């Protein structure tokens, strides 16, 4: 979880700049399973754990991608095939990450595969599955964050919440929405998080979410002032800048904290 109140190791992300904390929280809390709901952490769930295969994506997933694309060509509304295509495009992109540094870095091939995964995912959702696959949803949520897409992350997070509404899940949603600059919806998600929180944790949820909301409003106001003065836009436009490069920019390593 990006937002967790149960572990003593959590960092008080409200007190620092959003972009930097997006990276810190993702790596420490989500990546390594601190406070997360997935055993082993989301890195294991999305295929970035220590047991990753080092094989070439071109040989490891090429056949599965070809098969899924053939099925989609025959029936563009084949939900199963679209889900398979999303999954294997994600995995192919994951295998193309540059792992030479301390933090995996998206390459051009990674971004190409993950853009294709997003396209397949959009088509999959258009088939209106009653319960979108939560495992693949988690993979897409990771891609949203690497691609600096707070709005997409919020939409994907909502899909997870539709099947498993939790206090921490709604706090994560508030986090994404505030990053997107949608204060009203962020407030609504924060209220949901507080309503679902255990009594023993509710006061802390209120405190942390209130701090987050105040900083979001402060940054939003600064953005509006800058816009009116013809200045540069604030960091709210790139909420996950510390987690991955802008997909429109040249590929590069994920910056270290």
pLDDT at 3: 57
Residue 140 forms part of a structural domain:
no
Same domain, 28 and 60: no
* Predicted confidence band of residue 167 (pLDDT cuts 50, 70, 90): very high
Query: Would you say residue 56 has pLDDT above 60?
Result: no
pLDDT digits (tens, 9 = 90+) for 78-87: 999 999 999 9
Handedness of CA 149, 151, 154, 156 (dihedral sign): negative
Same domain, 211 and 156: yes
Residue 234 forms part of a structural domain:
no
Q: What is the mean pLDDT of residues 224-230?
A: 74
Same domain, 41 and 57: no
Cα 67 to Cα 61: distance, rounded to the nearest angstrom: 10
Cα 238 to Cα 232: distance, rounded to the nearest angstrom: 13
Residue 99 forms part of a structural domain:
yes
Beta strand extents in 79-199 (DSSP E only): none
Same domain, 24 and 82: no
Same domain, 74 and 85: yes
User: Is residue 29 a contact partner of residue 35, using CB atoms and an 8 Å limit?
Assistant: yes
pLDDT at 134: 94
Share of the chain above pLDDT 70, in %: 66
What residues make up the domain containing 38?
1-51+150-228
Same domain, 34 and 74: no
Same domain, 60 and 35: no
Same domain, 5 and 41: yes
* Predicted confidence band of residue 2 (pLDDT cuts 50, 70, 90): low
Count of domains for the chain: 2
Same domain, 224 and 112: no
SS3 205: helix
Residue 141 forms part of a structural domain:
no
Cα 242 to Cα 27: distance, rounded to the nearest angstrom: 11
Q: What is the mean pLDDT of residues 236-254?
A: 37
Same domain, 209 and 93: no
pLDDT at 54: 43
pLDDT at 105: 86
pLDDT at 165: 96
pLDDT digits (tens, 9 = 90+) for 131-163: 999 999 999 999 998 888 999 999 999 999 999
Q: What is the mean pLDDT of residues 216-223?
A: 85
pLDDT at 203: 94
pLDDT digits (tens, 9 = 90+) for 79-126: 999 999 999 999 999 999 998 888 888 999 999 999 999 999 999 999
Residue 138 forms part of a structural domain:
no
Residue 186 forms part of a structural domain:
yes
Provide the whole-model pTM: 0.72
Contacts 24+ apart (CB under 8 A), 101-107: 101/253, 102/256, 103/27, 103/253, 103/254, 103/256, 104/48, 104/254, 105/251, 105/252, 105/253, 105/254, 106/146, 106/244, 106/245, 106/251, 106/254, 107/251
pLDDT at 238: 41
Beta strand extents in the chain (DSSP E only): none
pLDDT at 27: 36
Residue 213 forms part of a structural domain:
yes
Residue 136 forms part of a structural domain:
no
Same domain, 182 and 205: yes
pLDDT digits (tens, 9 = 90+) for 28-44: 333 333 333 433 344 44
pLDDT at 60: 85
Same domain, 210 and 246: no
């Amino acid at each position: 979880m990006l937002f967790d109140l149960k572990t003593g190791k959590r960092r008080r992300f409200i007190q620092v700049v959003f972009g930097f904390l997006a990276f810190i929280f993702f790596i420490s809390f989500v990546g390594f399973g601190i406070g997360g709901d997935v055993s082993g952490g989301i890195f294991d769930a999305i295929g970035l754990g220590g047991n990753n295969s080092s094989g070439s994506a071109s040989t490891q997933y090429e056949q599965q991608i070809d098969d899924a694309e053939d099925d989609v060509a025959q029936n563009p509304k084949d939900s199963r095939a679209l889900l398979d295509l999303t999954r294997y495009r994600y995995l192919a992109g994951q295998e193309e990450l540059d792992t030479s540094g301390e933090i995996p870095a998206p390459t051009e091939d990674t971004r190409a595969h993950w853009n294709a995964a997003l396209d397949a995912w959009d088509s999959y959702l258009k088939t209106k599955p009653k319960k979108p696959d939560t495992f693949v949803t988690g993979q897409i949520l990771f891609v949203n964050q690497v691609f600096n897409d707070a709005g997409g992350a919020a939409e994907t997070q909502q899909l997870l919440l539709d099947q498993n509404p939790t206090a921490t899940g709604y706090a994560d949603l508030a986090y994404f929405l505030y990053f997107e600059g949608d204060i009203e919806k962020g407030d609504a998600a924060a209220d949901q998080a507080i309503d679902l929180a255990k009594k023993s944790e509710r006061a802390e949820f209120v405190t942390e979410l209130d701090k987050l909301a105040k900083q979001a409003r402060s940054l939003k106001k600064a953005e509006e002032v800058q816009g009116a003065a013809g200045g540069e836009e604030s960091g709210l436009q790139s909420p996950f800048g510390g987690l991955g490069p802008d997909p429109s920019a040249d590929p590069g390593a994920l910056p270290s904290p």
